[in-house]
Amino acid sequence: MAQAVKRLFPDVKLGIGPAIDKGFYYDFYRKEPFTPEELEMIEEEMKRIIRENYKIERIEMSKEEAKEILKNEPFKLEILNDIKGDIVSFYKQGEFIDLCEGPHLNFTGEVKFFKLLSVSSSYWKGDEKRESMQRIYGISFETEEELRNYLRFIEEAKERDHRILGKKLDLFSIHPEYGPGLVFWHPKGAIIRKIIEDFWKDIHLKNGYEIVYTPHIADISLWEKSGHLSFYSEYMFPKMEMDENRAYQLKPMNCPFHIQIYTSKLRSYKELPIRWAELGTVYRYEKPGVLHGILRVRGFTQDDAHIFCTLEQLEEEICKIIDLVYFFLKSFGFTEYRVFLSTRPENFVGTIENWEKATKALENALKIKNINYEIDPGEGVFYGPKIDIKIKDCLEREWQCSTIQIDFNIPEKFDIKYIDKDGQFKTPIMIHRAILGSLERFFGILIEHYKGNFPLWLAPEQIRILPLTDKYNDFCQDLKKKFETKFRVGIDLRSEKINKKIRDAEEDKVPYMVIVGEKEIKENKLSLRKHTKGMLGFFTLEEIEKKLNFEIENKM
């Protein structure tokens, strides 16, 4: 690609061009972005270079010689200066030569099916104060089918983009001028959030959890004590300096707050395990470059819980959490998972004996629950081993949502205790766990997974009533009142043709449409139409209610 660009635009300066997880990119320095037409030209030139089938040669030379070759490439010269050692390598194909560690293909003809995908701008070395580069992304495959599949995947992912659907369906907005990464939930998104929250709280209460609420800020002395200021401060929003010789900071995590509730009275072994759940909104200062719609934000609500228990209770608690995780993920239509067990890293706190017991408890729980898992050796957090669960969405993309983390550290730091059977003060173990991860991110995943076609139990508007003509508006308004006691109902009273009303309901992705005309009123039955499926037939009000209730109860 770089050779093609240099042939077509000799003034462009070269940056870097690595292979990435999906495909490759190259950063070029030039004032204007490349246009779609220019991308096509570059593709054509690349095809020519492939046809010309140059041998690709590796050439090693001293830095002095390299400097001479790169004298018109200021960015390459910068890279050259950063390289340690005296000898560097270049790769040459035809008239084009580029500083590169390699390896490369042997001939340009070995490149098979490729496509340039997009252009975006990025700062040189990721530094906002440096030049803005034009980054061209591309992809290549061995077979045409693979390329076609990938392009179809890209197309499908674009159509499911939660940022686009979020705006189209009026679910949420972000107002970067008043704060990047801060999510405003509009009524239609908020009702879905409320349904998820209600469901989440209900299931947690039924499973032996208690709900708590804690503040969003705390004196920095709490963050000093918890250790967040030493190991997490780069993700924390800046201090609020008060005139009473205090400074506050927004919470990036809920755990130190739950510890405060724990310490507010003397605890006995009889109370354990204590399971406290909170939909706690936390604020983390993510770099501007990584923010992405509502999938990666700066303010988000964790579906958090902390379990205080003994080492003996650990295995059973983990089993219960795993059950809960699977129950929730299945409820939202996710049935494929990958599970990872992360073990003791090089730097850790606590005794090796406890680490081994806790890791064993995690492993045993996974075995009891018959779950296939992979081990990530040494990838546990410094405070304890953990289980991470990744879900696959309908495009086979993996998302990590659920996490179960053992923590030996924070109970020690805050010196929390319970009185055991023998009258001795002992320190409980703490489990941090989240199932959905964050409501914002999970909602983003749901939008893309469902393509905005939310299942009936989540749909903001479950039924829309469409009078055939204005004549039936009164009848339809009465009908709305009947449906409204059980469902979320809309009505389209505009003087539009029925086809237009149906088209708009389909656009708004309303799961069910009820159409009312002369026939329906005479026969005392309603025409029921399903989103993307078309007409289902004539049904009585009771039949429709029954059908819809069944779908809602079964989260279909």
Q: Does 185 bind a second copy (CB under 8 A)?
A: yes
Q: Is residue 492 helix, strand or coil?
A: coil
Is 264 or 499 the residue whose CB approaches a second copy more closely?
A: 264
CB 436, CB 201: distance < 8 Å: no
Residue whose C-alpha is closest to residue 456's, from 168, 193, 192, 194: 192
Q: Does 216 bind a second copy (CB under 8 A)?
A: yes
Q: Does 239 bind a second copy (CB under 8 A)?
A: yes
Residues 6+ positions from 263 with CB-CB distance below 8 Å:
414, 416
Quick one: which of 18, 103, 179, 289 contacts a second copy (CB under 8 A)?
A: 179
Residues 6+ positions from 233 with CB-CB distance below 8 Å:
223
Task: For residues 211 and 201, give the distance between their C-alpha atoms in angstroms, rounded to a whole number.
Answer: 8
Task: For residues 185 and 178, give the distance between their C-alpha atoms in angstroms, rounded to a whole number.
Answer: 15
Is 271 or 506 the residue whose CB approaches a second copy more closely?
A: 271
Quick one: which of 114, 283, 332, 414 contacts a second copy (CB under 8 A)?
A: 283
Is 493 or 541 the residue whose CB approaches a second copy more closely?
A: 493
Q: Does 123 bind a second copy (CB under 8 A)?
A: no
CB of 349 to a second copy, least distance (A): 23
Q: Does 218 bind a second copy (CB under 8 A)?
A: yes
Task: For residues 59 and 2, give the distance between their C-alpha atoms in angstroms, rounded to a whole number.
Answer: 18
63-82 binders of a second copy (CB under 8 A): none
Which residue in the list 284, 441, 464, 529 is annotated as catalytic? 284
Active site residue 162: no
Quick one: which of 241, 474, 507, 553 contacts a second copy (CB under 8 A)?
A: 241
Q: Does 507 bind a second copy (CB under 8 A)?
A: no
Q: Does 240 bind a second copy (CB under 8 A)?
A: yes
CB of 175 to a second copy, least distance (A): 5
Q: Does 177 bind a second copy (CB under 8 A)?
A: yes
Task: For residues 158 and 85, give the distance between their C-alpha atoms in angstroms, rounded to a whole number.
Answer: 45
Q: Which residue in this structure is represented by tokens 């390598």?
A: 89
Q: Does 289 bind a second copy (CB under 8 A)?
A: no
Active site residue 284: yes
Q: Are strands 274-283 and 398-407 parallel, antiparallel or unpaired?
A: unpaired
- Write the single-letter amino acid at 501: K
CB of 318 to a second copy, least distance (A): 22
Token pair, residue 443, equals 């909602």
Task: For residues 258 and 272, give the distance between their C-alpha atoms in angstroms, rounded to a whole number.
Answer: 15
Quick one: which of 79, 147, 191, 541 contacts a second copy (CB under 8 A)?
A: 191
CB of 422 to a second copy, least distance (A): 18
The separation between CA 387 and the C-alpha centre of its own chain, rounded to angstroms, equals: 18
Q: Does 261 bind a second copy (CB under 8 A)?
A: yes
Residue 392, strand partner residues: 398
Q: Does 183 bind a second copy (CB under 8 A)?
A: yes
CB 378, CB 225: distance < 8 Å: no
Binding mask 417-456 vs a second copy (x if CB under 8 A, - otherwise)? ----------------------------------------
Binding region for a second copy (CB under 8 A) out of 254-262, 329-337, 426-434, 468-476: 254-262
Q: Does 193 bind a second copy (CB under 8 A)?
A: yes
Task: For residues 417 and 321, give the distance between their C-alpha atoms in angstroms, rounded to a whole number.
Answer: 23
For the four alpha carbons of 440, 446, 452 and 454, in that order, the dihedral sign comes to negative
Active site residue 432: yes
Cis peptide before 187 (omega within 30 of 0): no
CB of 271 to a second copy, least distance (A): 11
Count of residues of this chain found to bind a second copy when the rule CB under 8 A is applied: 52
CA distances for 527 relative to 57, 195, 413, 516, angstroms: 71, 28, 64, 7
Residue 120, strand partner residues: 135
Quick one: which of 87, 242, 266, 535 contacts a second copy (CB under 8 A)?
A: 242
CA angle 318, 350, 379 (to 5 degrees): 65
Task: For residues 196 and 123, give the distance between their C-alpha atoms in angstroms, rounded to a whole number.
Answer: 39
Is 97 or 261 the residue whose CB approaches a second copy more closely?
A: 261
297-356 binders of a second copy (CB under 8 A): 299
Q: Does 186 bind a second copy (CB under 8 A)?
A: yes
Task: For residues 340 and 374, give the distance between their C-alpha atoms in angstroms, rounded to a whole number.
Answer: 5
Is 29 or 248 the residue whose CB approaches a second copy more closely?
A: 248
Dihedral, CA of residue 48, residue 50, residue 52 and residue 58, to nearest 10: 130
CB of 400 to a second copy, least distance (A): 24
Task: For residues 332 and 196, give the distance between their C-alpha atoms in angstroms, rounded to a whole number.
Answer: 10
Active site residue 386: yes
Q: Does 175 bind a second copy (CB under 8 A)?
A: yes
Q: Which residue in this structure is represented by tokens 């708009």?
A: 504
The separation between CA 509 and the C-alpha centre of its own chain, rounded to angstroms, equals: 23
CB of 195 to a second copy, least distance (A): 10
Is 68 or 213 the residue whose CB approaches a second copy more closely?
A: 213
Quick one: which of 190, 229, 349, 552 contacts a second copy (CB under 8 A)?
A: 190
CB of 248 to a second copy, least distance (A): 6
DSSP string, 357-384: HHHHHHHHHHHHTT---EEETT-SBTTB
Q: Does 11 bind a second copy (CB under 8 A)?
A: no
Binding mask 263-282 vs a second copy (x if CB under 8 A, - otherwise)? -xx----------x----x-
Task: For residues 47 and 45, give the distance between their C-alpha atoms in angstroms, rounded to a whole number.
Answer: 5
Q: Does 244 bind a second copy (CB under 8 A)?
A: yes
Q: Does 104 bind a second copy (CB under 8 A)?
A: no
Residue whose C-alpha is closest to residue 332's, from 448, 433, 208, 432: 448
Catalytic (active-site) positions: 255, 284, 302, 304, 306, 386, 432
Judged by the rule CB under 8 A, the positions of this chain that interact with a second copy are 128, 170, 173, 175, 177-179, 182-187, 190-191, 193-194, 198, 201, 210-219, 221-222, 237-242, 244, 246, 248, 250, 257, 260-261, 264-265, 276, 281, 283, 285, 288, 299
